[in-house]
Amino acid sequence: MGTEIMIIAGLGNPGNEYEFTRHNAGFWALDVLAHKFKTEFKQDKYNSLTCTFNFRGQTHTLVKPLTFMNLSGDAIAPLMRREDLLPQELLVIADDISLPPGKVRLRQSGSDGGHNGLKSIISHIGQNFWRLRIGVGQPYTAETTQHRQLVSHVLGKISSEEGDVFQKILAEMPDLVRMWLIGMGSKAMSKYNSLNYNEKVEDVLKPRKNDE
């Protein structure tokens, strides 16, 4: 890997009501990449928003499935077949409740980790594709607060504090993706997986007075 055509897919749910929800972290990342690489999304026949960009002599594709999260694989798999790509030539960017806000984790393969979008993709092409997980944390719990359901959490809109943290992470996306495209995925893992973009992760999801 390093010079071949690649696909970078960001997972999320279509529609204005989901735009700023935690589950759409993958869409945010793709928007940043499209802006950086000076390209614009258009709807294609595979029920996705796609665009292409050139990097070091190769044309690569950005993909935002419009199938809703649980059917992400239905949109990505046909694109993979059209380009005759192997699973390892795909990078999927998605949210992760097991990571706190401020953390990312790049891996070369693995399970779905309870993420329905990744589960759908795995059902089509197997586990051996790259994935970048962006931490969105779990609902803050304490004796004085009521436990929030995970579904409500990932479909909830981010706070201003979370937004500041995600902006720091998203600013790193172009450089991380460039490293992956030139075959430096392992070095990208070493560099980015150890970073923490929020030194006060325990406070980010703490409910404010008007949330309690």
Catalytic residue among 23, 60, 115, 153: 23
The pair of three-digit structure tokens given for residue 69, joined into one six-digit string: 């999260």
Whole-angstrom distance, CA of residue 113 vs CA of residue 52: 29
Q: Is 43 exposed, middle or buried (0-12, 13-18, 19+ CB in 10 A)?
A: exposed
Among residues 140, 153, 137, the alpha carbon closest in space to that of 208 is found at 140
CB 70 within 8 A of CB 98: no
Whole-angstrom distance, CA of residue 84 vs CA of residue 43: 21
**DSSP per residue over 102-117, as a string?**
T-EEEESS---TT-HH
Among residues 173, 176, 140, the alpha carbon closest in space to that of 156 is found at 140
For the beta sheet containing 130-135, the strands, ordered from the edge strand earlier in sequence to the opposite edge, are: 42-43, 48-55, 58-65, 7-10, 90-96, 130-135, 104-107
23 noted as active-site residue:
yes
Length of the chain (residues):
212
Among residues 77, 89, 159, the alpha carbon closest in space to that of 120 is found at 77
The pair of three-digit structure tokens given for residue 142, joined into one six-digit string: 């304490």
Active site amino acids: 23
